[in-house]
Every structure is written in structure tokens, then in C-alpha cells.
């Protein structure tokens, strides 16, 4: 009870400071304020650094891109009124929607947001590639756009033909490029704002989206307010968004966040851990309990997310890094009880990662083609012996780096690996600290998660593409895995983009996944499921396989409407 009261006091004081305490359709003058909690830390409101869920969710409310993904994860036009792809697949021509304006902001003359033009996209995309920006998203363009004779990115890879026409020139056909442009990294930003605020643009965002920033107290609260000049309308011609604002709290303890939600002080919560899972999910079946469903709305769908353990495969001294030995990595994978993790720590939420890295939520997932590692201690011990460490003898103590919300799973892994004689210590850090350690190659053995940036297996397999420019922190390859055969298949798959040939691409994806799994730069743990909790008063919010939180269409029932429904 004391913890519960402390959570509510902290939440109330933070939101009162921002002037938006209240929520639903009551409090704060009857405004419709949507409230959600974000664990994991918000580090920037600049789309160039939309690298994790906290940043992605926030920037998605503030900005728009050329295209976006609808609830079925199909690409649809956004700031592009239309687009055309050349016959050779190398040139994309976009016609920019007229009349869309950036948010009003002091960076513009008289504080009035100006109209978006094609040159804004040229600036935005070149900024992503600029080394001075140090964007974590430079990889979305660096290996795709046109390069000059010296191999440098061409000045003409992005061209504003006029105010309403943009051209993008690629080196070669890319099957996934249009999906890439739906990512938050590609959201358009105005040059005026970046130049005025410099590094502080991270906390002074200026976009074209449905909401504008009102106040951000780091690690406490974020408040967004309605953009009354938003360019979108609903099917009936009504202006969007319906909400007056958004409140984001940053309660790091998932159990405290859950209590805050069940007490009605949050409208939405995603993910469950600790005490909450037994209240929501039946231990035997994994189904949502009827008693819980009677009080709250619950969605549970397959998720484009693979949870894993990664090895940094770098160097040539096995004494310093025993994970350079493939048989060691394979032994640890066989000694991992994936079914136990999903059954006993997650109440059957998610699916054991017994196959490849590509999750089962994607159409290219194929259990007949990609074979992973089943729990087999005897096989693990045999491989460890072959690696020169019989029963773990002479294997150095090692450290598994993880984040604070994952400690329970880390401890289960620790026990299983002890069964084959390998002693593993656990170091937990806050999520952002953990991410920095991994990205900068300071963690040899680490927990990782990969959420799909777009609904194609290429995005998952990109983590193992072995070109140096794809290594973290510039790219997503955190293990520094490199296999020429894998790279060859990857390059080949990117050139197949005709829908009639998609099964040929899927075939290459399966070969790549199988090849990588055999080399074992990672241990696949499980393929996740999205579980979203929301209050009964919330309308038009549905879960999707990418766990995208887009609030421009969300509404909140009027208290009188909710009362009438109960009757």
C-alpha cells in the first residue's frame, strides 16, 4: 500500500507541474487527456535518434514521414500524396502533399509554422547520413542510396526537383526501401529548428504531427498537446486528433506501473511482468482471465519481436573471449530451456525460440526450413568438451549484461548454464545504460531484443550483415558477426521485390537464418506477443504486430456515454 501511494504521489506531482493532471473526460476542464507509462527511458525527441520504443512512441505522435504503416502494416501515403518507382527499381519519385505545415514555433518568422516542401526531406535525409549528426539511423540509407565513383554517398542521391517533387536515387533495386521510409528515422524535420536549437533540438521538437510538445521533465513526465492545425481528417471530415493531449509518466518499476493502471490513473499499459502476469494470464493455458477482461480491455497478438542473448564475436584471443569458439556458443544454446522461460516466467506469453531469429509473426517464418536448438544438456556437454572445456573445466567466469527489468530470465539462464559447468555473473543496468554498453562493444555477453522496424524478415536478418558500416553503434549488427556467404544471400534477397517473386525472397531468408543459427552468434530465447491493457473508456486503439502506438485516431468516451453503456 505504501508503494502504491508513493507511486501516485510522484505521478500526481509530476503531472501537476505540467498543468495537465486529470485524464479521460474529467479533470483539467474536461479535456481528453490520454495517459500512458513508459519504462526504458526517453532519451530524445529528435527522430534521428528514434532507436528504442520510448523514443519511437513519442516521436510518432509529433512527426510524420513520406509514408506510414496502417494497422494491417501495409504501406500507405502520408506526407507523400503519391509516389512512383522506376522500372529498374532505382529511382523513387514522391509528390509532396500540399498545405501541410510544421508546428508553430519561435524558429520560424513570427512563430508561424511554414509549409513543408521537398527540400525539407532532402535536408532531413542528408542530416541522418551526416557523421556530425551521429544518428543511430544512418544505416537506413547508407547501404542503399546512390554513391559516386569514389564510393562516397552522392550529393544527388536526394533531389528536390521543385517544392512538391522529391526524387531518391538508389544504387540498386531494394525490396524493402519503401518500408524503410515509414520508419521514424525518416520523419521530416525543419532546418530552422535544428539550427536554432542545435543539440537541444532533442528537447525542442518541431514536426508536422498530431501533437506538439508542451513540457518534458526528464525521467518524470512528458506532456504533449493537440496540434489544432493538424492536416489530417477522419472519414467523416472531422479534424484530427480527437484527444486534447497526452501525458507520459516514467515509472520504472513495472509492478508500480501496473498498480497505477488498475487504479485508473493510466489509460494504457503494454507488457506485463512480475505480479501482474498472474492476475492477467492463466498459468496453465496462457489465456486472459475472464475476471480481468470484465474490468479492462485486453489485446494479445503475435509481436515482431525476438528476444535473444548475444555474443560479441570480435578479436582472436579465445582466452580473453571464449565465445569466439563456435562450439561454446552452441553449447550454451543447447543448455537454454526456452519452453521453461515462456511457461514459468511468462505464463505462456510468447513462443519458445526453437527456430531462427525471424519471429513467427512474419509470413516468411518457416519451421520446416529453419531448425534451431532444442533444450539438450547432454548435447551441450558434448560440445563443451569438444571446445576444450569438459564439464566447464578452465572456462573463465563470465558476465551476462542485462537490464533491470530482465533479471528474472537472466537468473534462470544462469542456473541452466551452471548445469554444464559454466559460471555466469549477472550485471544489471538501466535500459539506456545497457543499450550504450552493447552498442559500443563493451559487453561481450549480453541480453538483446529486436523489434521489427518494418514487417519484413530482412529487418531481422540485417543484424547479421557483416559489412563494417553495419556494425553497432552505426548499424544494428551488435555481435559483429560476419559470414561472406550470409552477406551474399542478403544482397541477393534485397534485389527481389516483385510480389510474384516473394517466395524466392523467403527462400533466401530461410537459408540466411539457417546459416546464421548454425554459426550461433546469438541464442534465440523466444518470439514475443504484444499484450496491451487499456481502460474501457478508450476508443479506436488496437494492438498490432509492431506494437506501434499511434494516437491521432484515439478517442475517450464521455462519462455519460460510458454510463449509458453500463445500463
Query: What are the DSSP calls for 470-506, one per residue?
Result: GBTTTSSBSS----HHHHHHHHHHHT---GGGHHHHH
Inside any domain, residue 431: yes
Residue 58 shares a structural domain with residue 115: no
Say if CB 207 and CB 187 are below 8 A apart.
yes
Residue written as grid cell 456515454: 561
Inside any domain, residue 312: yes
Residue 464 shares a structural domain with residue 323: yes
CATH number assigned to the domain comprising residue 159: 3.90.76.10
Residue 98 shares a structural domain with residue 220: no
pLDDT of the residue at 560: 60
Residue written as grid cell 538501466: 430
Say how many Å lie between the first and final Cα of the chain, rounded: 33
Helix (H) or strand (E) holding 60: helix 53-62
pLDDT of the residue at 345: 87
Inside any domain, residue 337: yes
Q: For the segment 320-372, what is each residue's pLDDT rounded down to a tens digit?
A: 899 999 999 999 999 999 999 999 889 999 999 999 999 999 989 999 999 99
Residue 392 shares a structural domain with residue 312: yes
Residue 443 shares a structural domain with residue 567: no
Residue 522 shares a structural domain with residue 547: no
Residue 10 shares a structural domain with residue 140: no
Helix (H, G, I), strand (E, B) or coil at 336: coil
Q: For the segment 362-416, what is each residue's pLDDT rounded down to a tens digit?
A: 989 999 999 999 999 999 999 999 999 999 999 998 999 998 878 889 999 999 9
Cα(368)–Cα(346) distance, rounded to whole angstroms?
26
Residue 260 shares a structural domain with residue 359: no
Residue 77 shares a structural domain with residue 220: no
CATH number assigned to the domain comprising residue 412: 3.10.105.10
Inside any domain, residue 291: no
pLDDT of the residue at 151: 82
DSSP state of 344: I
- Residue 389 makes CB contacts below 8 A (sequence gap 6+) with 322, 328, 395, 421, 422
- Residue 123 makes CB contacts below 8 A (sequence gap 6+) with 189, 191
pLDDT of the residue at 329: 98
pLDDT of the residue at 494: 86
Residue 413 shares a structural domain with residue 441: yes
Helix (H) or strand (E) holding 450: strand 445-451
Cα(451)–Cα(475) distance, rounded to whole angstroms?
15
CATH number assigned to the domain comprising residue 554: 3.40.190.10
Regions of the chain where pLDDT drops below 70: 1-29, 274, 497-500, 559-567
Its domain, for residue 254, covers 1-62+209-267+535-567
Helix (H) or strand (E) holding 293: helix 290-293
Inside any domain, residue 294: no
Inside any domain, residue 166: yes
Say if CB 133 and CB 191 are below 8 A apart.
no
Helix (H, G, I), strand (E, B) or coil at 245: strand
Domains identified in the chain, total number: 3
Residue 325 shares a structural domain with residue 245: no
Inside any domain, residue 290: no
Helix (H, G, I), strand (E, B) or coil at 91: strand
pLDDT of the residue at 502: 76
Amino acid at each position: 500500500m505504501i508503494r502504491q501511494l508513493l507511486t501516485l504521489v510522484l505521478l500526481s506531482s509530476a503531472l501537476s507541474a505540467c498543468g495537465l493532471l486529470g485524464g479521460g473526460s474529467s479533470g483539467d476542464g474536461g479535456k481528453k487527456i490520454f495517459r500512458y507509462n513508459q519504462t526504458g527511458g526517453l532519451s530524445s525527441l529528435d527522430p534521428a535518434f528514434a532507436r528504442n520504443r520510448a523514443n519511437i512512441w513519442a516521436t510518432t505522435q509529433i512527426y510524420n514521414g513520406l509514408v506510414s504503416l496502417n494497422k494491417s502494416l501495409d504501406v500507405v501515403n502520408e506526407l507523400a500524396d503519391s509516389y512512383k518507382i522506376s522500372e529498374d527499381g532505382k529511382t523513387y519519385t514522391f509528390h509532396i502533399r500540399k498545405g501541410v505545415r510544421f508546428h508553430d514555433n519561435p524558429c520560424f518568422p513570427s512563430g508561424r509554422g511554414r509549409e513543408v516542401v521537398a527540400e525539407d526531406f532532402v535536408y532531413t535525409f542528408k542530416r541522418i547520413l551526416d557523421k556530425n549528426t551521429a544518428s543511430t539511423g544512418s544505416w537506413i540509407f547508407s547501404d542503399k542510396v546512390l554513391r559516386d565513383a569514389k564510393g562516397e554517398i552522392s550529393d544527388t542521391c536526394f533531389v528536390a526537383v521543385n517544392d512538391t517533387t522529391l526524387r531518391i536515387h538508389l544504387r540498386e533495386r531494394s525490396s524493402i526501401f519503401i518500408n524503410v521510409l515509414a520508419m521514424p528515422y525518416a520523419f521530416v524535420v525543419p532546418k530552422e529548428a535544428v539550427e536554432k536549437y542545435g543539440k537541444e533540438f532533442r528537447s525542442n521538437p518541431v514536426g508536422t504531427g498530431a501533437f506538439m510538445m508542451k513540457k518534458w521533465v526528464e525521467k518524470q513526465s512528458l506532456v504533449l498537446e493537440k496540434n489544432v492545425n493538424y492536416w489530417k481528417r477522419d472519414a467523416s471530415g472531422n479534424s484530427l486528433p480527437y484527444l486534447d493531449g497526452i501525458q507520459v509518466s516514467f515509472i520504472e518499476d513495472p509492478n508500480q506501473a501496473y498498480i497505477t493502471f488498475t487504479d485508473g490513473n493510466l489509460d494504457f499499459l503494454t507488457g506485463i511482468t512480475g505480479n501482474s502476469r498472474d492476475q492477467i494470464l492463466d498459468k496453465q493455458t496462457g489465456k486472459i482471465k475472464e475476471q480481468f477482461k470484465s474490468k479492462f480491455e485486453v489485446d494479445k497478438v503475435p509481436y515482431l519481436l525476438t528476444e535473444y542473448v548475444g555474443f560479441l564475436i570480435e578479436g582472436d584471443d579465445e582466452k580473453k573471449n571464449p565465445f569466439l569458439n563456435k562450439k561454446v556458443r552452441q553449447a550454451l544454446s543447447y543448455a537454454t530451456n526456452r519452453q521453461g522461460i515462456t511457461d514459468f516466467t511468462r505464463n505462456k506469453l510468447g513462443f519458445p525460440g526453437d527456430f531462427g531469429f525471424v519471429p513467427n509473426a512474419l509470413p516468411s517464418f518457416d519451421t520446416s526450413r529453419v531448425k534451431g536448438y532444442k533444450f539438450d544438456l547432454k548435447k551441450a556437454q558434448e560440445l563443451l568438451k569438444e571446445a576444450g572445456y569438459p564439464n566447464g573445466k578452465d572456462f573463465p567466469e563470465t558476465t551476462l549484461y542485462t537490464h533491470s527489468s530482465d533479471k528474472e530470465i537472466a537468473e534462470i539462464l544462469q542456473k541452466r548454464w551452471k548445469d554444464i559447468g559454466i559460471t555466469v555473473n549477472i550485471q544489471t543496468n538501466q535500459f539506456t545504460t545497457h543499450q550504450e554498453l552493447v552498442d559500443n562493444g563493451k559487453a561481450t555477453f549480453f541480453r538483446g531484443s529486436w523489434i521489427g522496424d518494418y514487417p519484413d524478415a530482412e529487418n531481422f536478418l540485417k543484424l547479421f550483415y557483416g559489412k563494417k558500416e553495419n556494425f553497432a553503434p552505426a548499424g544494428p549488427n551488435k555481435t559483429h558477426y560476419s559470414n561472406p556467404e550470409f552477406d551474399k544471400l542478403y544482397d541477393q534477397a534485397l534485389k527481389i521485390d516483385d510480389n510474384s517473386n516473394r517466395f524466392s525472397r523467403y527462400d533466401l531468408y530461410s537459408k540466411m537464418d539457417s546459416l546464421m543459427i548454425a554459426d550461433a552468434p546469438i541464442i534465440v530465447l523466444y518470439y514475443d506477443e504484444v499484450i496491451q491493457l487499456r481502460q474501457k473508456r478508450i476508443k479506436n486503439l488496437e494492438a498490432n504486430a509492431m506494437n506501434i502506438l499511434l494516437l491521432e485516431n484515439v478517442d475517450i468516451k464521455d462519462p455519460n456515454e460510458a454510463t449509458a453503456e453500463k445500463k
